[in-house]
Amino acid sequence: MTPQYKRIQTISFLVLLLLVFILVLFIFKPFVNIIALAVILAILFHPVYVRLLPRVKYQSIAAALTVLLILLIIAIPIWFFGQVIFNELQNIYERYRAGGFVIDKSQIISSLPEQVQNVVQNVSTDVNAFIGRITSQAFASFSSIVSNIAGFVIATFMLFFVVYYLLRDGTKIKEVLMDISPMSSAHENKLITKIVTAVNGVVKGSFLVALAQGAIATIGFLIFGVPEPFLWGLFTVVAALVPNVGTSLSLIPAVIYLFVTGQTGQAIGLTIWGAVAVGLVDNFLGPKLVGRTTKLHPVLVLLAVFGGIKFFGILGFLIGPILLAIFVALIDMYRNDFKEYLT
């Protein structure tokens, strides 16, 4: 076999490999978010799996117990707050049907400071219609949610199925990836360490931001007289993990409650508090905390979060900064280990 023929054969094989790889990417495209979240969960809970393994002896049992722990951590808050929110929505809906949500313009304006009254003369006063629209939209979307339950159940099953095998066979998968990688073992281990650090840093930063938002929201609930302020503050911590709309899940119901009970000034005050105080934490403290844990500039983290959300959807707030951290790690490796060979 001549060298020229061998070169043609190699190029043909690489072209074929590239085409098949592109087709595989298209096959897995609908599951990118599931796979990404599974990888993140597997990395986060791998220390738990490692601690369980010597006690239970079997990889399958250790992986199954770790997945069960993840399920409990996720399911218990969802079940608890789901019950609370459902009961509150049911009470609001029953009061709405009884016609208890009508507040006229004079009542709203008279509750405001005199300096503000001239500014809000044109504010809508029919809170009953507003609540009606919100309620009708909520119950209209409920049927859509029910119709998507099957898809959600399947996606959840796939997520934990992938997490289970990533935990159980993680070492084998790592060895295969390292075997086909063109990098040296030292570079591979360095990159893996950077990925694990990035995942832990982004998740840790996100939780710290959620705790800060929950604390500030609780202060607002206390100041403006929302019932059960600490319960709603705890819910804000959980909701804040959902990017962009997270804290709205707790603040909007609280504002609506204050409006429909005639506490218009407090409702407006809580709205401003949420937009300014809680919003500042999300937009400024968040990137700073994530940037500190991942050693990335806060501006880059902020851009990575919004870019990640736009490209990957809701999970982009995690995937974006993680990919950015991996890219920065690769740049550092190039600068320290490869640049001299290319100049």
pTM of the complete model:
0.67
* Residue 277 Cα distances to 74, 271, 294, 298, 342, angstroms: 27, 10, 25, 19, 50
Q: Which domain holds residue 266?
A: 183-343
Instruction: Give dist(CA 336, CA 339) in Å, integer.
Output: 7
The answer as to whether 19 is a domain residue is no
Same domain, 54 and 78: yes
Could you tell me if 278 and 249 are in contact, meaning their C-beta atoms sit under 8 angstroms apart?
no
- Of 255, 259, 250, the C-alpha closest to 85 is 250
Which pLDDT tens digits describe the chain residue by residue (343 residues)?
A: 567 777 777 788 878 888 888 888 888 888 888 888 888 888 889 999 999 998 888 899 999 999 999 998 888 877 776 776 666 666 656 665 665 554 444 554 555 555 445 544 444 444 445 445 545 554 554 455 555 666 777 888 888 999 999 999 988 888 887 787 777 777 778 888 888 888 888 888 778 888 888 888 888 888 888 877 777 788 788 777 765 556 777 788 788 878 777 777 888 888 888 777 766 776 677 677 777 766 777 778 778 888 888 887 777 877 888 888 888 878 877 777 666 655 5
Same domain, 190 and 167: no
In this prediction, residue 300 carries a pLDDT of 81
Same domain, 54 and 175: yes
Structure tokens belonging to residue 259: 């409006």
Residue where one domain finishes, among candidates 159, 180, 201: 180
Same domain, 47 and 129: yes
Same domain, 58 and 114: yes
Residue where one domain finishes, among candidates 141, 161, 180: 180
Number of domains in the chain: 2
In this prediction, residue 336 carries a pLDDT of 74
Give the position of tokens 């990888």: 39
Give the position of tokens 């099953």: 157
Same domain, 173 and 249: no
The answer as to whether 12 is a domain residue is no
The answer as to whether 21 is a domain residue is no
Could you tell me if 238 and 176 are in contact, meaning their C-beta atoms sit under 8 angstroms apart?
no
